[in-house]
Amino acid sequence: MNSMTGFGRGEAEKDGFSFTVELKSVNHRYLESSIRIHHSLSVLEADIRRVLKDRLSRGKVDVFVSYQNHSDAQGQIWLNRANLEGYLKALSEASEQYQLENDLKLSSVLSLPDVLEVDKASWDPEELRPILMDALEQALAGLIRMREEEGLNIRRDFEEKLDELAGCVEQVAERAPEVVRSYQEKLYQRMQEYVDETKVPKLDEGRLETEITIFADRCCIDEEITRLRSHISQYRKIITSKEAVGRKLDFLTQELNREANTIASKSNDLAVTQTALQMKNLIEKIREQVQNIE
């Protein structure tokens, strides 16, 4: 079970070309990647996305690719005079029309788009793919290792909360029969007081049994307890799985919350209500953690 949060970095060099790849991932419902790479290497973006898709299933991943060329295959830089003259003319007109100070400097002019251009070097981006993939694999290994470590910590937190949740379920299961018995005693007492006050000959045993049966049926939570026990058992199995489990846990957490809500709504007993609210609080904490799981 992996977290969706992590960082990884990789470096690779060959024949004068070196790549550095950094990966940062955070929570996301699906797998989404954002790649920053020099436009001359954009043809390699598809390979990066393919590798990420093969190794990750969820998370928003930012990919930063930088490279250095120390080989003989250097591109030639030249001044695009047509573009430069166009910029200078437009800036001069703006200065005159809007009474702005013309404070042009060489450094700011040369930083304008397409003023300096680089001839394509004599190397093929396809030849650089193995070097980039090597750096990417190193970065992915680091990212996945961090996600696994954080996933292990989250799993331990789940196990603690599931133990506490299971304890709450057993408290409710133990208290549930007492609720009906307590209601029966109170109802019998009230009816006996009514008989004493009104001098009615005797208690209506049939009416008493009917009321108790209706109450017992209305507040029965046996099914909810059974389902909660089953969901907790499934949860324990899923968090030990080797595959991506985030979506499964998300669904199962909703089911846990549904059963706890039902118990709280059926409850006519303060102790059961308090325990149900404690269960809901634990489930909400679990739900927040599930959002971090791949």
Q: pLDDT at position 47, please?
A: 94
Tokens 């599930």 identify what position?
290
Is residue 206 in a domain? yes
Show contacts of 83-89: CB within 8 Å, 24+ apart: 83/112, 83/114, 83/115, 84/109, 84/112, 84/115, 87/112, 87/115
List, for the chain, all residue ranges whose pLDDT scores fall below the cut of 70. 71-76, 118-123, 179-219
On whether both 82 and 70 belong to a single domain, the answer is no
On whether both 45 and 106 belong to a single domain, the answer is no
On whether both 145 and 24 belong to a single domain, the answer is yes
- Report the candidate in 78, 15, 69, 80 with the shortest Cα–Cα distance to residue 41: 69
Instruction: Specify the pairing of strand 31-36 against strand 59-69.
Output: parallel
Q: Which residue type occupies 144?
A: I
Q: pLDDT at position 237, please?
A: 94
- Provide the number of structural domains found in the chain: 3
Is residue 1 in a domain? no
Is residue 94 in a domain? yes
pTM summary value: 0.67
Q: pLDDT at position 25, please?
A: 96
On whether both 97 and 173 belong to a single domain, the answer is no
